[in-house]
């Protein structure tokens, strides 16, 4: 059965939309979502893209990091988001070990996101090490969003969550990685936890858009986690995230009122009966 979208009149975003926005000097708004209601809210608000991030591990499933997230988890959540989204461009995060084993495995898994879950693009962390995988996926006609800077899937190799670009050598390395990804055909690049001045230089050097998360104000766009934006995060909120509400407290207050009314036998009242 077709879903009705009575409150949404935003134009459908497609892959070419992002480079056009950069050329016109317009900022790109991206947010994560992991289920039908959050995706519906984000799409209704007019975001340019929704990323079903492997951040669902710590954010929605209670894991310590993104490493336990599997392809089956990601397919399940991406399909749920797809059913809600009408206008935004839908990107799926390729989880740990879904693209590192071989280019053949990478393109097979990327294809599953498109074929089984309705994604329009995939995101991959890294540059040189994963270049063959990116090229094979692009060769299959699937758009790729690059991701450099802090790489959550590589926290053990890098010794934790560290800001990138603090010295000249690392800054030049990041620029070279961004240029390499652009040269093979990614449509945009996420810059995570990159010193703002370095992110600004990378953004100026590229023709494709940069999407910042903890990378300062000079990227072509920004991406944040849905729960950070609405105030639903359990635990510390990252320094770079801005909360625009306190949905956790609203939810808690509602449930407390429900519990109180059930225990006092005031719910259900006559109005809420057949």
In a domain, 145, yes or no: yes
Instruction: Tell which residue, 91, 201, 74, 105, has the closest CA to residue 146.
Output: 91
Q: Which CATH number characterizes residue 138's domain?
A: 3.20.20.60
With contact defined as beta carbons under 8 Å apart, do 81 and 33 qualify? Answer: yes
In a domain, 214, yes or no: yes
Rg (CA), the chain: 20
In a domain, 132, yes or no: yes
Q: Looking at residue 10, what DSSP letter applies? A: P
In a domain, 238, yes or no: yes
Domain count, the chain: 1
In a domain, 230, yes or no: yes
Query: Looking at residue 7, what is its pLDDT?
Result: 60
Query: Looking at residue 157, what is its pLDDT?
Result: 86
From the list 125, 192, 205, 261, the catalytic residue is 192
In a domain, 269, yes or no: no
In a domain, 8, yes or no: no
**Triad 129, 134, 139: Cα angle to 5°:** 145
Query: Looking at residue 1, what is its pLDDT?
Result: 35
pTM over 0.75: yes
Enclosing domain of residue 62: 16-245
Query: Looking at residue 235, what is its pLDDT?
Result: 87
Secondary element (H or E) of residue 181: helix 168-184
Query: Looking at residue 177, what is its pLDDT?
Result: 98
Q: Is 104 assigned a catalytic role? A: no
In a domain, 164, yes or no: yes
Profile the chain (274 residues) by mean pLDDT over runs of 10 residues: 55 95 98 98 97 97 96 98 97 98 98 98 98 98 98 89 95 98 98 98 98 98 98 92 97 98 97 95
User: How far is residue 33's CA from residue 43's CA, in Å, rounded to a whole number?
Assistant: 10
């Amino acid at each position: 059965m077709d879903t009705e979208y009575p409150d949404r009149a935003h134009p459908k975003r497609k892959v070419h939309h992002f480079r056009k926005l950069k050329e016109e000097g317009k900022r790109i708004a991206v947010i994560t979502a992991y289920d039908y209601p959050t995706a519906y809210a984000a799409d209704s608000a007019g975001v340019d893209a929704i990323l079903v991030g492997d951040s669902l591990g710590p954010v929605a499933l209670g894991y310590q990091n993104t490493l336990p997230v599997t392809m089956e988890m990601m397919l399940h959540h991406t399909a749920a988001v797809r059913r809600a989204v009408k206008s935004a461009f839908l990107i799926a995060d390729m989880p740990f070990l879904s693209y590192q084993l071989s280019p053949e495995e990478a393109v097979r898994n990327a294809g599953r996101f498109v074929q089984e879950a309705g994604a329009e693009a995939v995101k991959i962390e890294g540059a040189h090490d994963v270049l063959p995988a990116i090229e094979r996926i692009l060769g299959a006609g699937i758009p790729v969003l690059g991701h450099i800077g802090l790489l959550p899937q590589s926290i053990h190799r890098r010794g934790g969550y560290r800001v990138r670009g603090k010295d000249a050598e690392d800054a030049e390395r990041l620029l070279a990685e961004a240029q390499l990804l652009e040269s093979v055909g990614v449509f945009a690049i996420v810059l995570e936890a990159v010193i703002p001045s370095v992110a600004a230089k990378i953004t100026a050097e590229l023709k494709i858009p940069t999407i910042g998360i903890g990378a300062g104000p000079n990227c072509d766009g920004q991406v944040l986690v849905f729960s950070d934006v609405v105030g639903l995060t359990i635990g510390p909120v990252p320094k770079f995230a801005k909360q625009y509400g306190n949905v956790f407290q609203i939810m808690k207050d509602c449930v407390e009122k429900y519990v109180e009314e059930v225990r006092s036998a005031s719910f259900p009242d006559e109005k809420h009966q057949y």
